[in-house]
Structure 1
Amino acid sequence: MATHIHHQHVDEPIDVLLVDDNPGDVRLTREAFETARTTVETELHAVSTGDEALAALSQSDEYAAVPPPDLVLLDLNLPGHGGCDVLEQIRSDRRLRRLPVLILTSSADEDDVSRCYTASANAYLTKPVDPGEFVSIVEAIDRFWFEQARFPPTDR
């Protein structure tokens, strides 16, 4: 899996994998990426289960044509494998372990926060209550992760 975030001067879009089973939140996140003032073009690919996320990350089955993501936005409460399980599997995979994973969830439970950071989440973000604040979240992600952060190349 190759990543191109570390090539910030290349005019390639940033591929973001959104893993969320709430269609309303997927729509709000997609709209936020479309309307936010961002410095880079992003391609948002959405899946709704932990199993679909793992298939997309391994580019298997119907996800063979989905480009490897540069960043994952991962909800916790998913059908099948939950978000933290997906995160743990990402971190245990040699090819994926350096992939930036941001937890984006409605849970503010301290146990969830602790478990995700123990599993090496890069950040834990609570979904905004106000739908309009999704744009602020996306702009903050853009400012930090796409403008400021530098990532090591992924293992092959």
Structure 2
Amino acid sequence: MLEEVKEDDDLKNIPIVVLTTSKAEEDILKSYNLHSNAYITKPVDFDQFIKVIKSIEDFWLEVVKLPPK
């Protein structure tokens, strides 16, 4: 899916954050090789999970400057 999105001219500028349970180096490398913008391993603890989601939201919606639509 990631590869298809990044090859589509209408979608390729959409930031993609991979949120997964995998800590495998090969998964991390594959994700970045397919041009994901971030790779985050989900915390097991619910409160930590909420903090991670909030930090993703804050970063992508308030901190970074994205290309115009």
Instruction: State the TM-score bracket (shorter-chain normalisation).
Output: over 0.9
Once the two structures are TM-superposed, the CA of residue 131 in structure 1 deviates from its matched residue by 1.5
Runs of 4+ in 1 over 3 A off after TM superposition: none
Q: Tell me, yes or no, if structure 1 residue 130 matches structure 2 residue 48.
A: no
Mapped partners of 2:45, 2:54: distance in 1: 15
What is residue 65 of structure 2 aligned with on the other side?
A: 150
What is residue 19 of structure 2 aligned with on the other side?
A: 104
Once the two structures are TM-superposed, the CA of residue 142 in structure 1 deviates from its matched residue by 2.3
TM-score (norm 1): 0.43
Once the two structures are TM-superposed, the CA of residue 132 in structure 1 deviates from its matched residue by 1.6
| Aligned CA-pair RMSD | 1.0
Mapped partners of 1:99, 1:118: distance in 2: 16
Mapped partners of 1:135, 1:98: distance in 2: 26
TM-score (norm 2): 0.92
Once the two structures are TM-superposed, the CA of residue 102 in structure 1 deviates from its matched residue by 0.1
Mapped partners of 1:96, 1:127: distance in 2: 25
**Percent identical residues:** 38
Once the two structures are TM-superposed, the CA of residue 153 in structure 1 deviates from its matched residue by 2.2
Selected match of 2:30 from 108, 115, 128: 115
Mapped partners of 1:151, 1:143: distance in 2: 13
Greater share of residues in helix: 2
Mapped partners of 1:113, 1:98: distance in 2: 20
User: Which ranges in structure 2 are unaligned for 5 or more consecutive residues?
Assistant: none
Once the two structures are TM-superposed, the CA of residue 138 in structure 1 deviates from its matched residue by 1.6
Mapped partners of 2:5, 2:68: distance in 1: 15
Once the two structures are TM-superposed, the CA of residue 99 in structure 1 deviates from its matched residue by 0.5
